[in-house]
Chains A and B, each alone.
Chain A
Amino acid sequence: MERILEQIPRFFSGPNMALLLEAAGLTLAMTITGCLIGFGLAFVLVYLRQTPGLWALPLRWICITYVEVFRRIPFIVVIYLVLFFIQAVTPDASLFTIAVIAICLYAVAYTADIIRGGIESVPVTQVEAAQSMNLSRLQTNIRIVLPQAWPVIVPPAIAFAVSFIKDTALVSQVGVFELTFRGKELNNQGYSGLLVFGTIAICYFLLSFPLSMLGQYLEKRLATPRGERRTRKIRNP
């Protein structure tokens, strides 16, 4: 305990804090970039998976297999697979890129199911109404289905991203200088583990808490029936 107290002034020095801030930024950047790209690709995957017709059977099968396989592999294994694959193809790819790709591949599989659930929550009658007006499948999805599916998709998607901030700690295993990696480094420099990882824990909390709040805010906002949201301005006579 005394050691910790004695280390505090030195530990919370400028260079150390800059290091942690940078690491926290990197953690957030990796998570958000990976999840956003993954989320976008998940839409494509779900769309392809819903391609009708016999000719698209292999396509649907590939999409389903992808989701099922990636949901069953530990994230750390995905990281190593991406690391070795990318290094074999382009040896000078940055570790950041590798981490983002790994996060992305993982996020696609998880958010695809969230998106599919959201899409399936929209009554099929909405789709039939659109079809009978000759809207294409893409138009129907973009203009009719997705806007109605958002309230179902957004909360769990954000919850996934929030929980993933923690899981990015695993990419420290391949040497990305994110939070946990820097923590181990400082610990190795002789700082008390309790002090270092206590600070790191607070950093993770500070990273994910605002995002959870955003998620809760969006959830409430999306859950408000449209009528109530708009009529605040134009109440029915």
Chain B
Amino acid sequence: MPHLEVSDVRAKYGTLEVLKGISFSIKKGEIASLVGPSGSGKSTVLRALMGLTPITGGTVMIGNDRMNYSSAKEVRAARDRMAIVFQQYNLFQNMTVMKNLTLAPLKIKKWDSAEVMSEARRLLGLVGLSDRADAYPDQLSGGQQQRVALARALALKPQILLLDEVTSALDPELVNEVLDAIRKLANEGMTMIIVSHEMAFVREVADKVVFMDEGQIIEAGKPNDIFDNPQTDRARDFFSKILRH
């Protein structure tokens, strides 16, 4: 049974339809990767799942729960199950690393404070930042900030983690530290949707690759099949350009 099932999801910015009926599904513990040219709608898929961009059609199922995003309550329910990490980290600038991690678990989820604190420390250890709990975001490098953002998302104990080009804003030498942290999550069985241009990484961790173009899914399948043997011209064209580097 799929853990997340997206069916015919549509979204518009003004009159521009940027998602023209997106359907895909992932099982628990699977990692799906969305790839495709710039402007194809990858970020919009993640934003729609988080209720940041309103959907104009289609349905989303998480487990047995149907998410319609048609009321504030349903949007909250979706956000309760998923967490997102943005390209630009988006850490709260006015809070320490620890506060960033514990804010929502304490104030929104209202979990036990001792447990939240110890879980936050465990997660900082996981991303290799145990010694920076009291730092402010502007005291950290981009790679460190992105690892904090990853830990912050995990502190919410999401059923599904959404990653939107989490290494694109980083200097090349900082990319690997973030990818390593994601590898660890993959090994722990975290269900994830990863938007990425790091094709080698996608091939390594993804169970499924979804190729998008112009708001539609053109092809989906196992990484090796999609990368080595694309069936459509558009996918072949895209991969031949991007894999050459």
Identify the A interface with B (CB < 8 A): 125-126, 128-135, 139, 143-144, 147-148, 225-227, 230-231, 234, 236
> With A143-B103, A226-B136 in contact, do A131 and B92 touch (Cβ < 8 Å)?
no
CB atoms of A135 and B108 under 8 A apart: yes
What's the A-B contact tally at a CB cutoff of 8 Å?
A: 62
Question: What A residues does B94 contact at CB under 8 A?
Answer: 144, 147-148, 226
Known pairs A131-B52, A132-B83, A133-B156; A227 contacts B88 (CB<8 A): no
Q: Does B139 contact A (CB under 8 A)?
A: yes
A171 to B136 Cα, complex, angstroms: 47
- Which residues in B have their C-beta under 8 angstroms from that of A236? 139
A133-B103, A134-B76, A148-B93 are contacts. A227–B86 as well, Cβ < 8 Å?
no
Residues of B within 8 A of A143 (CB): 92, 103, 107
Q: SS class of chain B's interface: helix, strand, loop or mixed?
A: loop
Query: Interface majority SS on A: helix, strand, loop or mixed?
Result: helix
B residues adjacent to A (C-beta < 8 A):
50-52, 76, 79-80, 83-84, 86, 88, 90-94, 103-104, 107-108, 134, 136, 138-139, 156
Q: How far is B103's CA from A226's CA once the two chains are assembled, in angstroms?
A: 19
**CB of A50, distance to nearest CB on chain B (Å):** 16
Quick one: closest A residue to B139, CB to CB? A227
- Quote the shortest CB–CB distance from B53 to chain A (angstroms): 10
Q: Is the CB of A129 within 8 A of B90?
A: yes
**When the two chains form their complex, are residues A130 and B92 in contact, meaning their CB atoms are under 8 A apart?**
yes
| A234–B134 CB distance below 8 A | yes
Contact B79 A134 (CB under 8 A): yes
Chain A residues within 8 Å of B90, by CB: 125-126, 128-129
